[in-house]
Each structure stands twice: as structure tokens, then as C-alpha cells.
Structure 1
Amino acid sequence: MTTATLTPSTPRLSRRLGDIVRLHLANPMTVIVVPLLVLTAMFAVMIAIALMIVIGTGDSSAAASFSKGFQYSGTSFYIFVYMMVVAVQAMNATFAYALGLGVTRRDYYLGSAVTWVLFSVAWSILFLVLGAIEQATRGWGMNVRMFTAIYYGEEPVGRAVIVFCAFLFFFFAGTAAAAVFVRWKALGVTVMLVGLAFVLVGLGFIVTLTANWPAVGAWFVASGPLGVALWSLVLTALLAVAGWALLRRATPRG
């Protein structure tokens, strides 16, 4: 007579990472609904400003005179920063809970990274669709540009790649900031921001002393929006590594 030996089975990596993705999506109001409301509010403000200009000129065709200004519109930029805040909130809200469920730090971080990639893909598709509508309607009938601003390039596919890279950068910037907060709370984040400010000012000072601002500008022009976006993946990778290095030793504190 033989006795069967039962060994605990470990769920596959894909299932474990999927659990983390679902954990981040457990509160869709925070990570999906509110960001969409923020984007809608920004769009409404832009349309309201355009309407005021059209009404003020008394001629809708006069909107063409300010269309050049709208091509440099930074109206949509805030959503990138807001999603960085969403990443900070999501990590801070779920990290301790996930560890309490027995999730390893490695699985949690990889699952979070998968979540950010999926979010970035979804947002880039949304921008692509809204950009197509914006072009088809000639700037929502008033020659305004929010989803096809000059910073996003002219080609639809390239525009989607740029938006994807931008969201991915801000998501992982939020992840690194969240890891700092988990380990050292508000003081750590404050020190990080002050240190970052000093680094940026220092770099600007060095470029100024060496009179290299024209070279910096020439590099941006030569690279173009798509080239700059692709180069940003290097910074995104560094942020991802930094976030993991901090989070792998982080202990949730009350």
C-alpha cells in the first residue's frame, strides 16, 4: 500500500502577477475613473477658452489665427503628472496589504510594473483615438489641439509611442517616489525632492557655464519628439531599478 505525498503547489508567475494587477485595479475609482475625469476637465477648460476667443472675435474662422498657439498646448501634460501621483497612491495603499497576504516583494514589484505597462498602453490608445477625432474634426471645429500638440509628433503611430513612453516614465517615477515614502515616509520624499532640485539646478548651471545650451537645443531638434521619447526609456529603466532596489528592503511602517 502506498501513501500519496501532497506537496504545496505554487501558482504560476503569470497568475501571481495577475493577482497584483487585479489588486491595483480593486479601486477603479482612484486609478481609472478619477484620471478620466481629470482629463475631461482639462479638455473642457481648453474648449471653454477656445469658445471665449471665438465669441470674442465674432467669427469662428478667426480661430485659425490662434491655432498656432494651440499647437504648443500643454493642456494634456497634467494627466501624466497626475498618473505619477496615482502610482504613488496605489503603491502606498497596496504594498503592506500584499505583503500581509504572503506576496513576495519581487512578485509585487513585477506585478506593479505589468500594471503600469498595461495602463500606459491603454492611455496611448486613448490618446491615439482622441487625436484621430481631433484631426478629423479640425481641432474640434475650432482649430485647437490637445491630443495632437506638436510635442507628440505628427504620425499617429509615433504619437502613440511617445505617449506610451511618457506615461511609463511618470509611472515608474511615481514607483520610485512611493518606494522612498514606504521606507522613509514624508521626510525621505522631501529629501529626495530637494536633492533632485539641486541636481537639476546643478546640471543647468554646468550647461550655462560651458555655453552648451545651443547644443542641448540642437539635440532635441535633431532627435525629434519620438527620439526624445525613446531616449526617455533609459531614464525609465533607471527609475525602475531604483524603485526595486528601494522596495526590496522596505518595511511598511505605521
Structure 2
Amino acid sequence: MTAVTTASVPVTGSQGRVRPNEILRIVRLHTVNPSIFFVVPAMILGGAWAVTMVIALILVGAGVPQEELAFQYSWAVLSPQWYLIVVGVQAVSYTFPFALGFGATRRDYWIGTGIMFVLASFLFAVVIATLMLVERATGGWGVGAGMFDALWYFGADWITAFYTTFALQLLVLFIGAGVTTVFMRWRMKGMMILLFGGVAVILALIALLTFTESWESLGAWLSSIGVIGVFTVVLATALAWAVAGFLVIRRATPR
């Protein structure tokens, strides 16, 4: 009868350290299908611009003066943001199983995904901020149409437009990715808890502000910190979602 002795093999610690090559592989993995991050958002943005132009041409053709078109209140510039939440969901759900199959750690995967989000947000912010200046320089594309020089972008400089777009895009991407990690970790039970918990928190905040008559104070505080301050809070919220997503994905399993 042969006795077999099993010796435990010490762990090298590769799970605990950051590996730049693996992180770069994750970034490349996200670019395998560029339509998710770039093509579809660009199509949505271009479609919103085309609709804005058609509306402006109709109004001008009907005799409305260009100075009365009031496109600075248009929300068309935010049209891709709703899809970008889906991008965050797809980016994780499509690539996470493959990344683990390639031997990537969850830490490497999340860092690589975060870098991809930063790169996509940077590019998108550059495009939006630049188109805002082009629109302003051409007098609304020659017909008084305003899509990019609208909302808080109206009258803003390039740096402000870039920073606010960058912060907002990072937030929606990490929200989508964070929600996906919750589903991977706890499935539908976790999603229901997240949904009802989020609604409960929002209702509690509304009740608190209402019963303490603090809405005016909140508005005054937001006005005091300005657009940059508000979107710094947005950026901090995005980072909080990024940290929370990492903590959850450490024990998440692909389907």
C-alpha cells in the first residue's frame, strides 16, 4: 500500500500585487469591440445633433429669430450619458469571465477596467468641450442651433466643459459597472436590495430636507461652490462607486 503525502504549496502572492502587463491586457480586452465604448455613443451624439439641427432649421424657416431659439436649455448634449450606464454594465458582464479565464486577478481586472473608463471619459470630454467651442464660434452651426453650448456648458470655458463632462461620464460608467458587480455577487436578491435600498435612501434624504426646511440651504450651498464644485462632488461619487465595485467584485463569480 503506497502512502501519498500531499504538501501544501505556498502562495507566491501574485493575487495581492498589481501586474502592469495583466492590467494592459484587460484594457486591450475592452477595446476588442470598440463599438461599445466609442461607436454607439458617437452615433447617439450625432443623432441628437442632427435632430437639433432639423428643429433649428424648422424654427428659423417659420420666422423665429435666431436669438429667440433658446437652445441653451436643451438636454441633447446629455443624450449619450443614458447609454453609458449600459456601457458600464456591458463592459463588466462581457469581459469579466474572459479575464478570469486568462488568469487575471480581480484586482488587475478592476484596475484595467477603471483605466479604460478614464480613457473613454477623457476622449469623450475632449470631444464635447471642443464641439462646444466650435458651436459657439460658428454661431450655432450657422443657424443658431445650440446643443453643446447649453445647460451648465453655456458660456463656460473649455476647461470647465472638459472637467464636468469627464466627471459625469466616469460616474455613469462606474454606476453601470458597480451595479453589475452586485448582480454577479448576489444575483437578483442583491439587485432588489440595491434598488429598494437606493430608493429608501433617496426618500429619506428628501424627507430630511423637507422637514428641516433645508432645500434653500442646499441650493445656496450648491450655488456657493459653483459648477466646478458640484462636479467635484460628482467625481468623488464616481470614485466611491469605483471603490465599492472593487470591494464587491473581489468575491463575485461569473455566470
Same-fold call, TM cutoff 0.5? yes
CA distance in 2, matches of 1:145, 1:133: 11
Matched residue of 1:71: which SS?
helix
Aligned residue among 46, 54, 60 for 1:54 = 60
The amino acid of 2:29's aligned partner reads L
- Matching residue's letter, 2:134: I
- Which amino acid letter does the alignment assign opposite residue 194 of structure 1? F
Alignment of 1:1-254 (within 5 A): 13-57=19-63, 62-67=65-70, 70-152=71-153, 154-253=156-255
Name the residue aligned to 1:3: none
Aligned residues: 240
Q: Percent identity?
A: 36
Q: Distance in 2 between matches of 1:232 and 1:160?
A: 14
The 2-side partners of 1:185 and 1:29 are apart by 27
| Gaps in structure 1 of 5+ consecutive residues | 1-7
| TM-score normalised per structure 1 | 0.88
Q: Retained in 1: the 8 A contact 2:56–2:69?
A: no
Separation (CA, whole Å) in 2 of partners of 1:241 and 1:218? 30
TM normalised by structure 2 equals 0.88
Find the aligned partners of 2:141 and 2:194 in 1 and give their Cα distance: 41
CA distance in 2, matches of 1:200, 1:145: 33
Amino acid at match of 1:54: V
Distance in 2 separating the partners of 1:186 and 1:33: 30
Offset, 1:134:
0.6
> 1: distance between equivalents of 2:137 and 2:105?
48
**Aligned partners of 1:172 and 1:73: how far apart in 2?**
25
Deviating above 6 A after TM superposition, structure 1's stretches of 4 or more consecutive aligned residues are none
Instruction: From the superposition, tell whether residues 150 and 104 of structure 1 become closer, same or farther in structure 2 (CA, over 3 Å).
Output: same
- Structure 2 runs not aligned, ≥5 long: 1-11
- Aligned equivalents of 1:50 and 1:187: distance in 2? 47
Q: Is the 8 A contact 1:109 1:244 kept in 2?
A: yes
- 1:169 and 1:233 in contact (8 A); partners too: yes
Between the aligned partners of 2:33 and 2:113, the Cα distance in structure 1 is 15
* Aligned amino acid, residue 55 of structure 1: G
Q: Is the 8 Å Cα contact of residues 171 and 235 (structure 2) preserved in structure 1?
A: yes
Distance 2:79 2:242 in 1: 22
Root mean square deviation, CA, Å: 2.0
Residue 73 of structure 1: CA displacement?
Answer: 1.5
SS for the counterpart of 1:216 is helix
CA distance 1:214–1:245, change in 2 (3 Å): same
- Aligned partner of 2:5 in structure 1 is none
1:30–1:86 contact (8 Å) kept in structure 2:
yes
**Counterparts in 2 of 1:197 and 1:48: CA distance versus 1, 3 Å:** farther
The Cα shift of 1:167 comes to: 0.7
